[in-house]
DNA sequence: CCTCCTCGTGGAATCGATTACACGAGGGAT
DNA sequence: ATCCCTCGTGTAATCGATTCCACGAGGAGG
C-alpha cells in the first residue's frame, strides 16, 4: 500500500508538503497542491490512520460498551450513537458486555489499548475495576442509560418515573390491584430505579407491593419466564406483570402462554422499553417508551464536548407511556371500587 | 499514560527487554522478567496498540460491514461474529450500511484506513466501488449472507432452496394456490435467489408465479407494507404472502391488520429469516430459519484462515422451515385438488 | 540598493512500539 | 589454554504520519 513517501516521490515534493496538502494547511502553492493531488489520485493513496493516530495522539474513535446487543433497545441506541458520531467525524467501536462484568472489563481495556478518544458506557454492574480505572484515569467518559453512583462522569438517561406513575394510574383505572414487577439486577441503576418508581407510584394509590410480587430478573428473556412462573404459582397470583425490560416481557409472555392463559383476560402485561415488535405481539403490549434516538445523540454530544474541551452536560429525558391492549381495554371492574 | 520507556526506566533495563518480556520472547533472564513485570504493575502500563500496529502492520481487528443493524438477523450475525473473533484474539469493528451503497463505501474506506486485518461484508448492492477496490487490492475478505458474482472472494451463506421448497409444499398441502412474494432488491443475491427458489418450487407443483404476485421490496418494513397493500388491491389478491425477510413481514402484517383482515383466516403469511419475536406475534409466524450463529462462526474462521495464510473455504449451510400458525393449521381445501 | 517580511518548502525529530544486529560474558569442547 | 557457541542484553533502525525549525526566493518599503 502506497505511503506518504511514495506520494512525495511521485509528486516531486517532500513528505512535509504532501502532509500539508492533505491537512489543507494554508501555505502550499497551488502548483504543489495540484501535483500532490494528482499523485494521490494516481497511486490511490489513502493516509494510514494508525500512523496518524500515533503521531497526533487521537484516533477520532469512540468506544461504546453496552450490556446486550441482542436487546433491541440497545441496538437502536448503538445505531443512533454511530450516526451522531459519524456526523461529527468520529467512528464508533461497539463492545457487547452481555451483562457480564468480566466481558465489560475486557472491552473497556481493549478499547483503551486502542487509544479511543472517549468512552460511552452503560455499566453492567456496580462497576468493574477496569471501568473505574478508566473513569479515574481521566479517559473522557459518559454513562448512558445506566450509571454508577459516586463516579464523577456525566450521565445521559431517560427518567421513567412519570411514565411509571402513568402506567400505575392506567392499571388502577382498569381495576387492577395486584401488581407484580420483574425487576432487573439491583446492581444496575435501571434495575433498582424502576422498582422504586413502581413502588412509589403504587403507594400513591394506596396499593402495597409485597415482596412476593417482586421477582428478580437479569434483563434476559429466560429470567422473565422463570419469574413469571413463580408469580403464577402463588396462591394469589398477580393480576398484572410489569417487566422492567422488553426481553423479560418476552419471557413472561412465554410463561403465560405455556400455562394456556391469555393476555389480558387472565393476566395483564406491561413492559419498560418499547420496541417495534410490541405492536405485533398477541396482544399488542403496553409499554414505556424511551426517546432512544435522542438519548444516543445527547450522549455523543456530551462525550465529544468533553473530548474537545467543552464542559459536558448530563441529560435526563422523559420516557412516556404507550397504551396498547395487553392490560385490558375497557374499564373492567374486577372488584368493588372504593 | 506510561510508555514502554517509562517501564524500561523503572525496571532498569532497555526497552528491547521490556518488549521481549511483553511478547514472551524466550531469551530474557528470570531476573529481568520479574523486574519488568513489577514495573508494569507499578505503573499500570498497557501497551499502546496503535504503536504496535504501526510497527507490526497488523491490528488484530476485523471489519464487519452489514446492511442493517436494526434487522435482528444481522444483529445476531454480528454478535456471533464478534464472539468467534474474540475467541481467536481479534476485535471487530461493525459498520452499518443501512442498505445504502454510499454508506457501505464510507465504512469500507474507513475500515481500510484503519488497516483492519480483514473484512467481512454482506454487500448492499452489486458492489460499491470502494468494496471492489478492496477486494481487488488484496485485502483479506469474505462475503457473508450475500455476495457479488465475479469477485473472487470466499462466500459463507445459507442455502434456502430446500427450505423454500418445503414451504411451498406446506402451502400447497394447505390448499393455497395463489402465492405472492415480497422480494428483496434484485441487486442483492439474497434478493434475487429467494424469488428464484420460490418460482422453481412453485413450478414443481405446477403453480405459476404471475408478475403481479412479485412485489419489489427493499428489506425494510415500510416496503413490506406498501407491497402488501398493492397485493390486497388486486382484483384477485393472493392467498399467501411470503416476505423475503423478517422486516418486510412485519410491514406486511401491518398492512393486513390495517385492512381489518386476519392471519391466517383471510390471508396467510410466511417469512424468510426466523427471529425470536415470530413466536409471539399474532399469530406465530411460519418462517425459514438460517443457522445464523454458525454462519458467523464459519465466516470468521474463513477470514482468519485467509489472514493467517491458510486457504479459506466457502461454506454453504442449509436453512430450514419452521412451521407455525400463520399459514393455516388444519389442511383446508379452498379449491378442488387435482 | 539594502533590509526585512512573508511565503513555500524541505530536513529531521517525534509518537511508541518491534526487531535485526552487535557485543560481552560464561561454559563446554578440544 | 584457546576457541566457539549460546545466552542475555542494549543500540538503533523502522513503521507512516505530523510538525517545528531553518532556509532561500522574492516583494515591499525605506
A187 and A147 co-located in one domain: no
Query: Can you read off the three cell numbers belonging to residue A239?
Result: 393480576
Same domain, B177 and B222: yes
| φ and ψ at residue A229, rounded to 5 degrees | -60, -40
Mean pLDDT across the stretch A127-152?
90
How high is the pLDDT of residue B330?
Answer: 53
State the average pLDDT for chain B: 93
A107 and A192, same domain (yes or no): no
- Report the CATH number that the domain containing residue A43 is assigned in CATH: 1.10.260.40
Do A177 and A260 sit in the same domain of this protein? yes
Residues B218 and B134 in one domain: no
Residues A168 and A258 in one domain: yes
Within-domain flag for B323: no
Same structural domain for residues A187 and A257?
Answer: yes
Sign of CA dihedral A124, A126, A131, A134: positive
pLDDT digits (tens, 9 = 90+) for B64-109: 999 999 999 999 999 999 999 999 999 999 999 988 899 999 999 9
What is the tens place of the pLDDT at every residue in A270-321? 999 999 889 888 789 999 999 999 999 999 999 999 999 999 999 999 999 9
- Please tell me whether residues A91 and A183 are part of one structural domain: no
Q: What is the DSSP string of B111-139?
A: HHHTT-SEEEE--SSS--HHHHHHHHTT-
B82 and B148 belong to one structural domain: yes
Assign residue B96 the CATH number of its domain.
3.40.50.2300
Q: Is residue A337 part of a domain?
A: no
The pLDDT assigned to B124 comes to 86
- Indicate whether A99 belongs to any domain: yes
Report the 3 state secondary structure along A260-287: CCCCCCCCEEEEECCCHHHHCECCCCEE
Best A4, A64, A68, A75 member to test B by mutation, with max B CBs in 10 Å, is A75
Note whether B152 and B301 are same-domain residues. Answer: yes
Domain assignment of residue B76, yes or no: yes
Q: What is the pLDDT of residue B338?
A: 33
Could you give the percent of chain B with pLDDT greater than 90? 85
**DSSP per-residue codes, A312-330:** P--EEEE-EEE--STT-SS
Whether residue A333 is contained in a domain is answered as no
Distance, CA of A80 to CA of A300 (rounded, Å): 9
Residues on chain A touching B250 (C-beta within 8 angstroms)? 276-277, 280
Please state whether the peptide bond connecting residue B283 to the residue before it is cis, i.e. omega within 30 degrees of 0.
yes
CA angle B329, B331, B336 (to 5 degrees): 140
Q: Is residue A229 located within the same domain as residue A308?
A: no
pLDDT for B337 beyond 60: no
- Residue B291, SS3 per DSSP: coil
For residue B12, the enclosing domain spans 4-47
| pLDDT above 70 (res B31) | yes
> Cβ of B50 and A50 within 8 Å?
yes
**Residue in B79, B133, B282 nearest the CB of A282:** B282
* Interatomic distance B27 CA / D7 C1' (Å): 7
Whether B248 and B237 share a structural domain? yes
Domain presence at residue B337: no
Each residue's pLDDT tens digit, B3-15: 999 999 999 999 9
A53 vs B47, B50, B106: nearest CB: B50
Alpha carbon of A301: minimum distance to chain B alpha carbons (Å): 20
Give the DSSP letter of residue B281: B
In the beta sheet, which residues pair with residue B141?
A: B119
Question: Does B69 contact A78 at a Cβ distance shorter than 8 Å?
Answer: yes
pLDDT in tens, A34-59: 999 999 999 999 999 999 999 999 99
Q: Counting beta carbons within 10 angstroms of the beta carbon of residue B72, is it exposed (0 to 12), middle (13 to 18) or buried (19 or more)?
A: buried
> So what's the pLDDT on residue A136?
87
Number of domains in chain A: 3
For helices B4-11 and B30-43, the axis angle rounded to 10 degrees is 120
Cell 400463520 sits at which residue? B326
The chain B residue lying nearest A96, using CA atoms, is B79
Work out the average pLDDT over A239-251. Answer: 96
The string of DSSP letters for A44-97 reads: T----HHHHHHHHS---EEEEEES-TTSHHHHHHHHHHHHHHHHTT-EEEEEE-
Amino acid at each position: 500500500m502506497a505511503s506518504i513517501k511514495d506520494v512525495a516521490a511521485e509528486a516531486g515534493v517532500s513528505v512535509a508538503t504532501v502532509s500539508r496538502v492533505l491537512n489543507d494547511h494554508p501555505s502550499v502553492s497551488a502548483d504543489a497542491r495540484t501535483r500532490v493531488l494528482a499523485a494521490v489520485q494516481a497511486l490511490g493513496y489513502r493516509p494510514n490512520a494508525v500512523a496518524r493516530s500515533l503521531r497526533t495522539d487521537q484516533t477520532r474513535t469512540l468506544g461504546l460498551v453496552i450490556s446486550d446487543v441482542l436487546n433491541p433497545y440497545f441496538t437502536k441506541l448503538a445505531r443512533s450513537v454511530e450516526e451522531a458520531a459519524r456526523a461529527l467525524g468520529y467512528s464508533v467501536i461497539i463492545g457487547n458486555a452481555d451483562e457480564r462484568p468480566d466481558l465489560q472489563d475486557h472491552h473497556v481495556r481493549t478499547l483503551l489499548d486502542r487509544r479511543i478518544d472517549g468512552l460511552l458506557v452503560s455499566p453492567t454492574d456496580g462497576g468493574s475495576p477496569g471501568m473505574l480505572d478508566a473513569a479515574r484515569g481521566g479517559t473522557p467518559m459518559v454513562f448512558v442509560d445506566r450509571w454508577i453512583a459516586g463516579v464523577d462522569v456525566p450521565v445521559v438517561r431517560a427518567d421513567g418515573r412519570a411514565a411509571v406513575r402513568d402506567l400505575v394510574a392506567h392499571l388502577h383505572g382498569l381495576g387492577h390491584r395486584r401488581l407484580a414487577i420483574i425487576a432487573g439486577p439491583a446492581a444496575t441503576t435501571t434495575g433498582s430505579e424502576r422498582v422504586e418508581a413502581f413502588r412509589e407510584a403504587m403507594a400513591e394509590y394506596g396499593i402495597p407491593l409485597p415482596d412476593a410480587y417482586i421477582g428478580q430478573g437479569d434483563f434476559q428473556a429466560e429470567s422473565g419466564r422463570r419469574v413469571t412462573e413463580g408469580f403464577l404459582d402463588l396462591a394469589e397470583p398477580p393480576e398484572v406483570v410489569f417487566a422492567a425490560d422488553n426481553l423479560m416481557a418476552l419471557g413472561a409472555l412465554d410463561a403465560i402462554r405455556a400455562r394456556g392463559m391469555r393476555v389480558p383476560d387472565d393476566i395483564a402485561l406491561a413492559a419498560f422499553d418499547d420496541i417495534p415488535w410490541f405492536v405485533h405481539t398477541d396482544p399488542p403490549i403496553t409499554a414505556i417508551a424511551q426517546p432512544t434516538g435522542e438519548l444516543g445523540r445527547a450522549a455523543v454530544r456530551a462525550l465529544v464536548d468533553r473530548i474537545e474541551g467543552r464542559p459536558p452536560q448530563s441529560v435526563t429525558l422523559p420516557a412516556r407511556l404507550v397504551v396498547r391492549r395487553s392490560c385490558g381495554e375497557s374499564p373492567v371492574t374486577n372488584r368493588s371500587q372504593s
